[in-house]
C-alpha cells in the first residue's frame, strides 16, 4: 500500500537544492563562472530559508515537529540498523532527521560565508576567514550529502522501499500493520490538539 508523504513543496525544494548545490560545487573553482556560482548559492540560500519556514508552518511529515533532533534516538536506531532490526519509518527516521538538520545548518553557514566572500566582507569582515570557513563548511556539507545518499540507498535496500522514487512521486510504501504501529508507538510525538 502506498501513502502520500512528501508534498509538492518538499519535492520541488529537494531537487532544486540538489541542482543548486551541484551547480555551485561544479563552478566553485572557475574564475569564469564566479557570478553563476554566486547565483547558485543565492538560490540555495533562498531554498533553505523557504524550507525552514515551511518546516514551521506546514503539517504532516514536512513539519519539524514530526522529526525532532534527537541524537539518542539516532544512536539507538543506528545500532538497530547494524543488527538488522530497525523499523521502517513513514517519514524521516531518527538518523535522517539529524542529516536534514545538519544539511540545513551547513547550508546556512555555506551560503552566509559565501555571501561574505563574494561581497568582499562588505568592508567590515576579514574575508580570508570567510574563505576558509566557506571552504571547510562546503566540503563538510558535501560529506553529509554523501552520507545522506548512502543512507537513502541502504534504507531503500533494507526496507524494500525506493526512497528516491518516493521523493519524486511523494508516495512511500507502507503496510497497514506497520502504519498503525508507527502512529501509536513512534518516538516522534505528534502535537495534541487543544
Contact 37, 14 (CB under 8 A): no
Contact 116, 132 (CB under 8 A): no
- Given a cut of 80, whether residue 120 has pLDDT beyond it is no
Instruction: Determine the Cα angle at 52 with ends 188 and 191, to 5°.
Output: 30
HSE-CB for 4 with a 13 A CA cutoff: 4
Nine-digit cell at 171? 508516495
Tens of pLDDT, residues 127-150: 688 888 999 999 999 999 999 999
- Rounded to an integer, the average pLDDT of 91-119 is 92
* Domain spans in the chain, listed from the N-terminal domain onward: 2-185
CATH superfamily name and code, 2-185: Transmembrane di-heme cytochromes, Chain C (1.20.950.20)
Please tell me the predicted confidence (pLDDT) of residue 184. Answer: 42
- Given a cut of 70, whether residue 23 has pLDDT beyond it is yes
SS3 state at 173: strand
Tell me the C-alpha distance between 5 and 10, whole Å.
10
Q: What is the DSSP letter of 119?
A: T
Amino acid at each position: 500500500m502506498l501513502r502520500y508523504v512528501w508534498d509538492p513543496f518538499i519535492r520541488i525544494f529537494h531537487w532544486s537544492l540538489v541542482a543548486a548545490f551541484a551547480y555551485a560545487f561544479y563552478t566553485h573553482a572557475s574564475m569564469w563562472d564566479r557570478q553563476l556560482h554566486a547565483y547558485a548559492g543565492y538560490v540555495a540560500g533562498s531554498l533553505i530559508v523557504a524550507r525552514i519556514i515551511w518546516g514551521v508552518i506546514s503539517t504532516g511529515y514536512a513539519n519539524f515537529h514530526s522529526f525532532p533532533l534527537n541524537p539518542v534516538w539516532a544512536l539507538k536506531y543506528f545500532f538497530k540498523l547494524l543488527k538488522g532490526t530497525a523499523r521502517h519509518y513513514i517519514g524521516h527516521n531518527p538518523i535522517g532527521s539529524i542529516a536534514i538538520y545538519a544539511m540545513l545548518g551547513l547550508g546556512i553557514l555555506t551560503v552566509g560565508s559565501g555571501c561574505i566572500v563574494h561581497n568582499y566582507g562588505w568592508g567590515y569582515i576579514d574575508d580570508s576567514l570567510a574563505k576558509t570557513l566557506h571552504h571547510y563548511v562546503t566540503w563538510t556539507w558535501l560529506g553529509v550529502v554523501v552520507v545522506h545518499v548512502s543512507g537513502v540507498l541502504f534504507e531503500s535496500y533494507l526496507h524494500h522501499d525506493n526512497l528516491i522514487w518516493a521523493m519524486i512521486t511523494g508516495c512511500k510504501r507502507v503496510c497497514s500493520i506497520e502504519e498503525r504501529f508507527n502512529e501509536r508507538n513512534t518516538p516522534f510525538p505528534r502535537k495534541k490538539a487543544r
